[in-house]
Amino acid sequence: LVPDVVTLSAAAGACSRASEWQGSVDLLQKTRSLKVRPDASCCNTVVGACARSSRWEGSLTLFSSMQRQQEPGPDAVTFTALLGACQRAQRWDTALALLDIADVPDRAAFTACLLACAGAKRTEAAMELLGRMSHFGLEATAADHAAVLDSVELRCWQASLQLLRLLRRLPG
């Protein structure tokens, strides 16, 4: 069997499902020596494997490499996986920086950032994100507001009241 992008991607996916993030990274690195050009799906599998294993730095390194090489370039799946890694690591600052460079951030991107801010108790950043969502035609959901409420520390009861007032104005 001659390895190609399909077999390497399948093997990287198997490593990912087995929580063997390092194996998926190693396979991606071997594509260069085998003269196989990885596609976006293969790269996203490896980014996701790192993300699910709380290796946000590895996800970010691969993302940077994808940006530099431009082929395959990062796509919405890449961003979602990377933001998920930042969320799990409570790297709210990194998540917000990534959101700033996204072409058109989607709901999943904003949700991951909101959850990263909530986990790190960054209420002001989470509130700002709610405002930014409307600039992209996204309406904040009850779950988005719940994430912001989760970011509020007990000593910030005024922010909680302000958010609850906003929630009362939501339709439905």
DSSP string, 8-57: HHHHHHHHHHTT-HHHHHHHHHHHHHTT----HHHHHHHHHHHHHTT-HH
- The rounded distance, in Å, linking the Cα atoms of 1 and 40 is 22
Amino acid 76: pLDDT: 84
Amino acid 114: pLDDT: 92
| Confidence class for position 170, pLDDT limits 50, 70, 90 | low
* Residue located via tokens 């989470």: 126
- What distance lies between CA 36 and its chain's CA centroid? 27
Read off the tokens for 31: 């594509």
pLDDT digits (tens, 9 = 90+) for 35-68: 888 888 888 888 888 888 888 888 888 888 888 8
Look at residue 161 and tell me whether its pLDDT is greater than 80.
Answer: no
pTM of the model: 0.75
- The rounded distance, in Å, linking the Cα atoms of 54 and 75 is 20
